[in-house]
């Protein structure tokens, strides 16, 4: 898969999002993972986000796990009335040390995987939830003036809605916020770390890209009100 570089969000149906720069010039941002090939053969799962940049005293946040992949093919009718999710995991926040003062970057969000459903007729009930959302990036840590504050973790991609997974934020004053994960919208980049007197922060991890959903129905697909597909599917069944 197209895993992000240090702190970058993993690529999926689109490219992932960049991580933010740490305030310390030696901690540069992680590049986004590249877009995966658009074909469904072979069936590829999502990719893990890149780990945040760190040091021996302060570890970068691990990247979120990529979503899986599966295919269901039946000869007649395939009725879906449950949650089928391959959404990516959220990146974890960076760690910090007080002495010496070091602040690490947040991990990138994992990208969503792939779902393929095909049948003579695909039926989605009101309870059907098909999701391959990307995970949010972790927040960068902050350190200085004897304090060491770890960054907040990013949220994992939603398994049952089209809601965006938020990046980690609000724990480390100088740490950059994590980027949000992709849905039918693109993931966002992590923000840069900032500085205060005698302290600085690591960059936030980039959001992971959404994966892909392909629904192939020979006869017209039937979809009851209330179903969820995120991101929008290809192959004939209309997105929500």
Per-residue model confidence as pLDDT tens digits over 48-89: 998 988 877 889 999 999 999 999 999 999 999 999 999 999
Q: What is the pLDDT of residues 143-165, one digit of tens each?
A: 888 889 999 999 999 999 999 99
pLDDT tens digits, one per residue of 11-23: 776 776 777 666 6
Strands, E assignment, the chain: 69-73, 77-80, 83-85, 96-97, 102-103, 114-119, 121-124, 129-131, 142-144, 147-149, 195-196, 199-201, 212-217, 222-223, 228-230
Question: Contact, 236 vs 221, CB < 8 A?
Answer: yes
d(CA 142, CA 103): 5
pLDDT value at residue 4: 41
**pLDDT score for 31:** 56
CB 239 within 8 A of CB 212: no
Question: Which residue, chain included where needed, has tokens 């779902």?
Answer: 115
Closest CA to 93 of 5, 169, 6: 169
26-51: b (≥16 Cβ within 10 Å) or e: ebbbbbbbbebeeebeebbbbbbbbb
Degrees to nearest 5, angle at CA 39 with 36 and 43: 80
Helix (H, G, I), strand (E, B) or coil at 83: strand
The pTM is what?
Answer: 0.89
Sheet with 77-80, strands from edge to edge, namely 77-80, 121-124, 222-223
Token readout for 75 is 């000869």
Q: Which residues make beta-bridge pairs with 90?
A: none
| Nearest residue to 65 via CA among 162, 165, 157 | 157
Q: Can you tell me whether residue 207 is helix, strand or coil?
A: coil
């Amino acid at each position: 898969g197209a895993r992000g570089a240090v702190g970058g969000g993993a690529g999926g149906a689109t490219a992932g999002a960049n991580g933010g720069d740490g305030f310390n010039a030696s901690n540069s941002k992680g590049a986004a993972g590249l877009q995966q090939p658009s074909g469904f053969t072979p069936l590829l799962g999502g990719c893990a986000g890149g780990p945040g940049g760190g040091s021996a005293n302060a570890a970068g946040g691990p990247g979120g796990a990529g979503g899986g992949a599966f295919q269901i093919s039946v000869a007649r009718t395939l009725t879906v009335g449950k949650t089928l999710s391959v959404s990516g995991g959220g990146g974890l926040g960076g760690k910090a040390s007080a002495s010496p003062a070091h602040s690490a970057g947040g991990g990138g969000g994992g990208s969503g995987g792939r779902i393929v459903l095909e049948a003579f007729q695909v039926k989605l009930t009101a309870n059907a939830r098909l999701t391959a959302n990307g995970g949010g990036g972790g927040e960068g840590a902050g350190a200085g003036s004897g304090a060491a504050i770890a960054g907040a973790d990013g949220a994992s991609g939603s398994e049952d809605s089209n809601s965006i997974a938020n990046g980690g934020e609000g724990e480390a004053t100088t740490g950059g916020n994590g980027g949000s994960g992709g849905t039918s919208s693109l993931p966002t980049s992590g923000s840069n770390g900032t500085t205060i007197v005698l302290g600085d922060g690591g960059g936030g991890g980039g959001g992971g890209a959404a994966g892909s959903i392909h629904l192939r129905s020979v006869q017209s697909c039937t979809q009851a009100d209330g179903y969820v597909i995120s991101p929008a599917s290809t192959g004939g069944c209309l997105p929500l």
